[in-house]
Structures are given as structure tokens and as C-alpha cells.
Structure 1
Amino acid sequence: MGTATGIIKALNSGVKHLAVKRFTLRYPEQKLKFVGDGYQFDPSSGVAIAGLKGRHMLFHDHCTGCQLCSIACEGVAEAIGMVKVPDKWGQNAKSIMPQIDYGKCVFCGLCVDACPFYALYMSNDYELSSFTKEGLIYTPAQLQVKPQVQQDSELIIDKRGARHG
């Protein structure tokens, strides 16, 4: 009797999932659609603005070269190094800005939290693959370029769990 009940439960479970839309995306043809600009932090209020923690964006006109992002990263991943930049930005007396090695980055967002000048935030760009380790190192000039995120599928979270719409 116990075996028959088990078989019926298993078949019932299988039949219930036949009509559910598949969760797997056919990447790279389909991509997730994220709402918002990415993960940000407001130092004045001390509140984080939720969002996907993808590739960083660096606003050169806000960065003062204070190195707080690099210090915040030291104990976690050591992915941020400060590099010399041209003397184009007057507020940056040290002429240094962060360079991020995505081969080491764990996307924790502590560097964004540590920046008191709104110079760093994390975008929705999650496609960071490269054929070489050097290709994963983003210079301040590369971090300044806003990523072109192309999203095709929306992630829906409800009482049934997460699925793509």
C-alpha cells in the first residue's frame, strides 16, 4: 500500500509541473530584465538602494581618490587597486582612481557603501566574461562607460517562487 501511495504522489507532482513555464533561460538569446539602475548607497542617509550587484560604474567627476573603496575591499577580495590617472579632474588632487579586477571581485558592494562621494555604484551588467585574466581588469576609463544592458526576460517572484515572464 505504501509503494502505491508513493507512486501516485510522484505522478501527481510530475503532472502539476507539466503546465508550469520553464525556468531556464536560453542564454545568451534570452536575458533577465531587471528593474532599476543597480545597487547604490546614499552616504548622507546611510541607506542602500536595492538593485542587482553587477559591473561597477565610476563617476570621475565625483571621485576624489580617497581610497576608501580600496580599503573596504582589502579584507574581502582585494579586487580594487588605485591607479594613476591624467590630471584632468580638479577634485582629485592625488590623481588616482580605482581599477577593479573582476577575476577577484565577489560583488559584495562594500566599495559602493564606503564611497562618501557617490562616485561608485553597481550596474545591472552581469556579462563580464573574458578569454584572458587581463580582460577582467577594468581601468577607470572603462568603468566610466555606462554598460549597454540588453534584457529580454522579466524575473517574476510570487508565492509559487521565481520564474521568468
Structure 2
Amino acid sequence: MPTLPKLPRPPQIGLLKGLGVTLKTMMSPSTTQQYPHVKPDLPPRTRGVIALMEENCTVCMLCGRECPDWCIYIDSHKEVVPPKEEGARARTRNVLDRFAIDFALCMYCGICVEVCPFDALFWSPEFEYSTYSIRELTHEKEQLRVWMDTVPPPPELDVGADLPKEIEDGLKAARQAAEKAAAAAAPSEAPAAAGKAGGDAPAAQAAEEDIHVEAQVDQEVFDQLVAEGKSERVARAKAKAAYVRKEKARIRAERAGGEG
């Protein structure tokens, strides 16, 4: 049976479908933000721009060497630092003269922030630094330092996590200072007690030196060490030392009992 030819669809159907989509979109709420009148709500760790804490930079050049775009420019000079103590040698250190980032080349990979060993580079959520000239996208250290004010504080540590090394060092220094202050404020009886104890120490040491024990092999200790896999030479030496300790302890106990 011959098939009937398919009749073409009237063009009005496609037009009606398009108008239906238009009407549906017109009735739905708009999701477009009217920037710059309405600021976007960005996450606090947004990679907006790289900020510099100049006082932490040691001009190690690690960020510049690791940058895949070579968009970091660093200049420095050396200066001599006088010694802190008499007789010590003077040191030389690098002083940062220029630190600039060309954000026209930067691809915001964050490698420089990750590899910096002295925490001198940070991510700032600031993103409003567009210009009309590509030359103005190279920002110097002064502007990078201004962006440090917009860097969010680090997140809280997890429960049970180790404190950062800087905080541990600070707490240790504080404890040492408190101990020194407590020792300086201790009553004067402490030196007297220390002197008395110091006077008794030579007598106790002399009594200890009077105890002479002939070294012999403690067979029980020797057999135990050999069973643990020690060589006979090592086991014999440790067994003799154990025998001497036991005999000295026994003699001291007998003397203490006789004095009591």
C-alpha cells in the first residue's frame, strides 16, 4: 500500500512555541545581579588577588622561580647587619626593593602562595582592580600591601590539632620567662636549703665510692639476654653491670638499716 506524503507543519506552530518560552521566562524571577550596584556574595577564600606581607619576605626568589608565567618581578640589595654580640661576625641580608605582580599575565594558579616558605603571600578576595590600560595591571608592593587588609583570618584549628610552631615557640618562651620570674621571687631559704643539700651530696658520693663490689656474671640476666638474641660478649657485660647494681643496692640497704 503506498504511503501518503507527509504534510509540512504550519510555520505558526514554531512561532507559538517560541512565544511560549518567552512568556515563561518573562514570568520567572531574574537571577542576574546588577553589578556594580549589587555586590556579589563571594566565598571568603575567593582567589581574587595576591597580597604581600612585605616584612615576611626574605627575597628567597622561590615564588619568582616557580611562577609558570614569570609574572613576578623582584629587586633587592644586600646590607650588612652589625653583630649582636661583641666578637661575633657581621651578617649580610637581602633587603626588598621591588616586588611587583603583572596580573595581565597571572593565571591565578596560586603556586607562589603555596611555595612561599615564610608566609609572605596570601589570597585576598578583592577583585575590583580592573583598569583601562593593560600596563596598569602591574601592581607594586605598596598596592599589594594594601590588599593585605582584605585577607580573611585563617580558619580555626580542628579539635586536637597541633598548634603552629610559632605559637608553640611563643608559649615556650612565656613559660620560661614565668619560671625565671618565679625563681627570682623565691624566698631566701631556697639558697640555704640548696647549700645544705650541696653539703650532703659530697658525703653521699663518698659513701657511694666506699662500696666496692667485685664484678661477677649474673647468670639469670645473662641467660635472658642470650635468649633475646644478644651476643655473649654484650650479654656478659650487661650481666656483670646488673650484678654490681644489685650488690650495691643490697649493701646500701644494709647500711641504712644499721644506721636506723
| Cα deviation code 1:25-78 (max 9, x no counterpart) | 222222212232xxxxxxxxxxxxxx21111110112111111111121x3x22
User: 1:31 and 1:133 mapped to 2: Cα distance?
Assistant: 24
Q: Give the deviation of 1:21 after TM superposition.
A: 3.3
Q: What is the DSSP-based 3-state SS (H/G/I as helix, E as strand, rest coil) of the residue aligned with 1:142? A: helix
**RMSD over equivalenced CA pairs, Å:** 3.1
Structure 1 unaligned runs (5+)? 37-50, 150-165
Mark the CA change 1:10 to 1:78 in structure 2 (over 3 Å): closer, same or farther: same
Q: Which residue in 1 is equivalent to 2:120?
A: 119
Give the letter aligned to residue 78 of structure 1: W
Report the residue type matching 1:103 in the other structure.
A
1:122 is displaced (CA, Å) by: 1.5
Shift of 1:105: 0.9
Report the equivalent of 1:60.
54
**What are the within-5 Å matches in structure 2 for residues 1-165 of structure 1?**
17-36=25-44, 51-73=45-67, 75=68, 77-84=69-76, 93-96=93-96, 98-146=99-147
Q: Tell me, which stretches of 5 or more residues in structure 2 are unaligned?
A: 1-8, 80-91, 151-260
Report which of the two has the higher share of strand. 1
Give the deviation of 1:4 after TM superposition: 10
Change (3 A) 1:132 1:28: same
Q: Comparing both chains, which one has the higher relative contact order based on Cα–Cα distances under 8 Å and sequence gaps of 6 or more?
A: 1
Provide closer, same or farther for how the CA distance between residues 86 and 17 of structure 1 changes in structure 2, counting only shifts above 3 A: farther
Give distance in 2, aligned partners of 1:100 and 1:142.
10
Residue in structure 1 matched with residue 186 of structure 2 by the alignment = none
Contact 2:78 2:93 in 1 (8 A): no
The percent identity for this pair of structures is 28
TM-score between both structures, scaled by the size of structure 2: 0.41
Going by fraction, where is helix more abundant, 1 or 2? Answer: 2
* Residue aligning to 1:41: none
